[in-house]
Structure 1
Amino acid sequence: MKIQKTSLYSFIIYTMIFAYMLGPSLSHIIGIPRIDNPLTAVFWAVAVLTLFLERKNFPVKYFPFLAMLALMASWPILHFFITPLTSAARYADLMFFMVLPCLAYYSYLIVSRHPDSLGFIRRLLWIIVPLTGLPPLIELFTGFQFTSSSELMAVEVGITKGLFFNPNNLGTFALCMTPAVLFFFNLQARSPKDVLSGWFLFVLLGFTVFASASRTAILCFTILTAFYFIYRGNILSVMVAVILSTVAILSIPEQWVKEFLLSMHGNPFLENISSRLYLFLFELESDNSVSYRQEIYNYFWQNPPFLVTGYGPKNFIGYFGGKLTNELAFENPHSFLIELYLSFGLVSFAAFVCYVGTYVAGLVSDGRLNNRQRFFALSAMALFLIGGFIPSSVFRMPLIWLPCFLIFTYVSCTAREPATHRITRKIPATV
């Protein structure tokens, strides 16, 4: 029986999704070694072999997008030779980052050839989103933890992190998935069932974002939700709605908000969320997390180094050492843009900027998208850029790039009719 190439490539993608999502949890629960680390090397090798076998069908239209990703992720190969990878964490960061063009390439091979590319993407999201949102629910109701953690990150103190090691990672990942759900379900709906499915996944992601207690993720999710209901392709109506909403929010007495947040104390889960929001709204100067990040960003802004190859992953003590009041930035500067530049230098950073530019230009110039679809497709990249400032690092989260890969591939490499706003329903013909 002949195996279709698309089926084989789909199997590879599904395997990597399960490996990246479940690898840390299986290691913690069953005690087996992390499966995502060795499979990353296998995945990279198989992708190179696939590129060789598919060389006659090289994606010319997709080339600029893929080329920038490939340059960004292949330049760090130099660090296998010039930087001592003295820890497993540095090696893993490097391998997980290098796998990004492989994910984008397989996304292209499947989406551009699949007879039902939209259906494939939706099935993919039906796997990723429940794996993101259901574990925190189980944690909340059972107290069962899926990954190892310190006492400060335990569910007993109100922390939910699902399949991730940190609630910020959980919140960022869920946030970056939301535009993809809106774009591929709600804004590409073929039936009311598609819309209901989209809202179910969207609400599940919303719960996950709030459960993570990440202030930036919660704010971004709230704004995205508001824009979904407000934005109808008319910029004037959006401005009026934003102004009225801002006035309504600012008219709420500050004391009411304080009392509401303080009233949540008593339940560890709600207290964790309310206390972090209280610090963010009313005592930001007392939040050590914010002050540490500001110190890192200010130092980098005032003292930018000129780097061609970078220092390598998690190897920034030579740059930050003795300059900051804490050691937080020696391995994780809490900014993807800063970490990318310090780790791999100007070449990878410039390639990333070109990758973003290619994504934006491709979506802006596509005449088959209506304004609403284009807005939320662009918001996927905007949220990724903002999300890069939330966790300590996104190098170990390759799937966080997948929404942009899927949206760009679907828009640029599939034959579609011009967008419409209406969902049509077939009416049986009468004789």
Structure 2
Amino acid sequence: MSSSGWTISRSLPSASTPGQPDRDGLQPRKEPVVRRTLPQLSNWLLVLPLFLFSAGIFVAPIALMLLRSVQDPELAAAFPRTAAELARWDGQDLPRPEAMSTFITELRGVRGTDRISFAANRLNADISGFRSMLLRTARMLPQADGGDAAETLRRIDARWGERSTWTAMRRASGPVTDYFLLAALDLQRDDDGAVAAVPAERAVFVGVFLRTLWVSILVTGFCLLLGYPLAYLLASLPARYANPLLVLVLIPFWTSVLVRTTAWIVLLQRDGLVNGLLRRIGLIEQPLTLIYNRTGVLIAMVHVLLPLMILPLYSVMKGIGRAPMLAAMSLGARPFEAFLRVYLPQSRAGIGAGCLLVFISALGYYVTPELIGGGGDQMISYFIAFYTNRTTNWGLAGALSLILLLATGLLYIAYARLSRATGPAR
């Protein structure tokens, strides 16, 4: 009995409380506690190198670039005491004579250095001609102090006697500024500090943002019109036919964007293959202008981004199959009606994902509009590259990038909320 009782008490769960002996006087066996701390820690250690690589190569440079959109250190680095004096200036009339004397002293100290060049570039972005005025003033300053500082500056250039010159310097005193963000929206602060629109001849970026949005919408629409039937065909065909066609869709991913864009230059030029074919079959008499305009940009961008539309649609349609359509037609629905009321709602997820991928990719496109588009077809990415590489105006480039990033983020949030609101198709 004792032996069988021992076996039963070890095999059946005990009714006694934890830590107390059971009815036979035996201590219940404690279940081992599964500790997952070490496996979880090992998982984190495995992804840590990838995380550090992504943070160092992608996240940190982008964050620093965006941070430049609100930083304004150039003038304060060259004229720190002048920046402090201008920060105390009330903005009425002209700064105090002490501020002008301080400016002359610091201007002599930075003459011929890189700091004055950086400060001059920053001020010239605010007022055209400021760079030449500042550098010429530094060259023509007398070696010794003497006389009235304001009069000394006015003798070199009369613009030193204007309030707008000093308010521009105060706006650039930093260390934080909204100048670049306002400039990216064709806005500025006037001499009184109020936000106002820039002159019409300087208003550029709002039109470029609208052009970028419009081109992206058109490219997304054309990709949807071309990609939906092709994805439906791929999902409907047997595997032995669909797989080779899917490989043809994937081929553009294996080719450089630059190579594909250059190929379109050859195809779309006046004596290219497209114009030659159209003339040979008698559709046109004179060559069409298909390059260095909006038409060429749309054709090349649709070709490059079309796989991003087809693949999400194909993955969704492959899961739908033909059974819903056949069931709807067996119940009396016409083929087109069955497609609109049964198949199309079920493919809504693929349409949303494909449109989102194509639209976001088109917003930041640079190579294709640069090579195939004309002067009026450049998108916002061209200006970001221009201010980054050519004029080294990283503040304005960061501001344009930040606005583009915010627009993309808002678009994604709107898409996510719309997807949750509509819910799955039924």
TM-score, normalised by the number of residues in structure 1: 0.23
Q: Which has the higher contact order (CA 8 A, sep 6+)?
A: 1
TM-score, normalised by the number of residues in structure 2: 0.23
Structure possessing the higher radius of gyration over alpha carbons: 2
